Amino acid sequence: MNFQNKNNQFWPFSNSYLSLPNVFFEILKPEKIKNPKLIKYNKLLSQELNFNIEDTNLIKDLFSGNYIPDKAKTIALAYSGHQFGNFVPNLGDGRAILLGELAKQDGTLVDVQLKGSGKTKFSRNGDGKAPLGPVIREYIISEAMNALSIPTTRSLAIVSTGEKVFREKTLPGGILTRSASSHLRVGTFQFCQILNDQNKLKKLCDFTINRHFPHIKNKKNPYLELLIEVQENQTYLISRWMSAGFIHGVMNTDNTSISGETIDFGPCAFMDEYNPSTVFSSIDFNGRYSFSNQPGIAQWNIARFAESILPLINDDEKIAISQANEIINEYPKIFKQKWLDIMGKKIGIEKIQTSDEILINNLLNIMSKNHLDFTITFRNLCDKYITNENNNSEINNWKNEWFERINKQGLEFKTISTNMKKINPLYIPRNHLVEKVINEAINNENYQPLEDILEVINNPYSKKIDDIFYTATPNPDERVYQTFCGT
């Protein structure tokens, strides 16, 4: 539905989701905003998406939801989900509206969605709005993830609405435009599961296969293959999170993307000091989504996905369960291999061996025991040291073993170090910095710190001359122990 009508009403988006049965969405338009301001626009991403609009007024109107031609069908998507382990049937886009898809140069479709654009039929008790703070946070962190080559949804624009949003306190409102390779979630399939309609389930699965995994279309059992693909993508994603010290914070099944992208940045954060049991989210009372629980939780989420597509895997439920189990039981092995690969590279080992796991775990133990910063430790290692402290025998012993191991590769250290510096970032969007950027934007309408941090995190591996501000770990009074969904 990509059109330019007689009133010259331009609309660049198609919307293939409309081909699904209409229980999967609600057609509606975003609420109009009286006084929108475009405070950030991601020009580079817009080029990747072939969105070559220069008119900033049009950009502002599109991404505030004010400009939607009558003919355009924008939609809120239905989904269910397990939130902190409890099934909630009626979630869905309560404050997001899918404008539609843009096509990249290679033809791949990318969803473009407004978040914070008003109520939908899925809003339950929510106001459909987003405070500007979490919008800025999602923009920064998703772009950082992308720069670190971690699969992620992206951020295209931030609009401030000029409206007040009421939470524990009154906050300025914002709208994030985000792009995603799709918004299909494990929760979308769980929503379908409770419809108990195999025809609809098949339509949803075929749509998903066409969109993300066309190569499995003609396989003997494409739905079992779908499970394998989803597991492959999730294990890759979580191994990358674990290698960057990233904590998602709310790994509910509705926040688990089928494409394997990081999605729905709520109370997420990069760790400073390494502690595997770190939890940031203010609502995660039992530490369900702590750093070290993430691989296991992703497996649990995949099991929920498998359950929701069982009727397509095999007509005989018992056989379907045993086939799905066989795949899910492979998860630990697949995850471990991916994790070892990336962690090995982080410490300069190109071809990982099973015996290297001890070396990696010993380093992590040292880091945790000595309260070392996750990012800085790995970056220091690229220059052959761990901390400036030289009299820790455990650290020195580990270093000796490590030298011995990397020397076996027959490469000069300089080469190893150069490779390590391509994978161990200097800059991550540390929580205390993100908070400063948000405070400046919200309290003083000063968006320069946002520009500055984006420039830094977009080149996370190359050293800036004046970088102490961005590399320094937080002072005790700057430490952020809790992050909030901010919904």
Contact characters 299-338, Mg ion, x per CB under 5 A: ----------------------------------------
8 by Cβ neighbours in 10 Å (0-12 / 13-18 / 19+) ranks as exposed
Q: Which residue has the tokens 């990336």?
A: 342
CA 397 to chain centroid: 37
Give the whole-angstrom CA distance, residue 202 versus residue 20.
Answer: 10
Read off the tokens for 200: 């609809």
Query: Looking at 99-107, 121-129, 189-197, 443-451, which segment touches ligand AMP (CB under 6 A)?
Result: 121-129
Least separation in angstroms between CB 218 and Mg ion: 33
Least separation in angstroms between CB 81 and ligand AMP: 8
Least separation in angstroms between CB 477 and Mg ion: 32
Residue 93 is a binding residue for ligand AMP (CB under 6 A) = yes
Q: Which is nearer to Mg ion, 262 or 278 (CB)?
A: 262
User: Three-class SS of residue 74?
Assistant: coil
Per CB under 6 A, the list member of 43, 47, 87, 126 interacting with ligand AMP is 126
Residues designated as active site? 254
Give the count of residues interacting with ligand AMP (CB under 6 A): 17
Picking from 17, 154, 81, 224, the residue whose alpha carbon sits closest to that of residue 458 is 154
Residue 82 is a binding residue for ligand AMP (CB under 6 A) = no
Least separation in angstroms between CB 306 and Mg ion: 21
Query: Looking at 122-130, 318-326, 347-355, 436-444, which segment touches ligand AMP (CB under 6 A)?
Result: 122-130
Per CB under 6 A, the list member of 38, 39, 91, 237 interacting with ligand AMP is 91
Per DSSP, helices labelled H in 314-390 are: 317-328, 331-346, 356-369, 374-382
Is the Cβ–Cβ distance between 91 and 254 less than 8 Å? yes
Kindly identify the residues of this chain, within the stretch 94-113, that bind ligand AMP according to CB under 6 A: 94-95
Contact characters 253-292, ligand AMP, x per CB under 6 A: --x--------x-x--------------------------
Q: Which residues, 6 or more positions from 59, have their beta carbon under 8 angstroms from its beta carbon? A: 38, 41, 53, 157
Q: Which helix (H) or strand (E) holds 470?
A: helix 468-471
Residue 197 is a binding residue for ligand AMP (CB under 6 A) = no
Q: Which is nearer to Mg ion, 152 or 375 (CB)?
A: 152
Least separation in angstroms between CB 394 and ligand AMP: 41
Least separation in angstroms between CB 78 and ligand AMP: 10
Question: Helix 294-313 and helix 317-328: axis angle, to 10°?
Answer: 150
Least separation in angstroms between CB 434 and ligand AMP: 18
- Evaluate the CA torsion angle 143, 273, 363, 468 in order and state its sign: positive
Picking from 426, 415, 417, the residue whose alpha carbon sits closest to that of residue 376 is 426
Q: Which residue has the tokens 């939607």?
A: 68
Q: Which is nearer to ligand AMP, 103 or 485 (CB)?
A: 485
- What would the DSSP string read from start to end of 405-454? HHHTT---HHHHHHHHHTTS-S----HHHHHHHHHHHHHH---HHHHHHH
Residue 143 is a binding residue for ligand AMP (CB under 6 A) = no
Residue 127 is a binding residue for ligand AMP (CB under 6 A) = yes
Q: Which is nearer to ligand AMP, 253 or 377 (CB)?
A: 253
Is the Cβ–Cβ distance between 114 and 100 less than 8 Å? no
Kindly identify the residues of this chain, within the stretch 236-275, that bind Mg ion according to CB under 5 A: 255, 264
Is the Cβ–Cβ distance between 274 and 282 less than 8 Å? no
Q: Which residues bind ligand AMP (CB under 6 A)?
A: 91-95, 122-123, 126-129, 250, 255, 264, 266, 485, 487
Interface residues toward Mg ion, by CB under 5 A: 255, 264
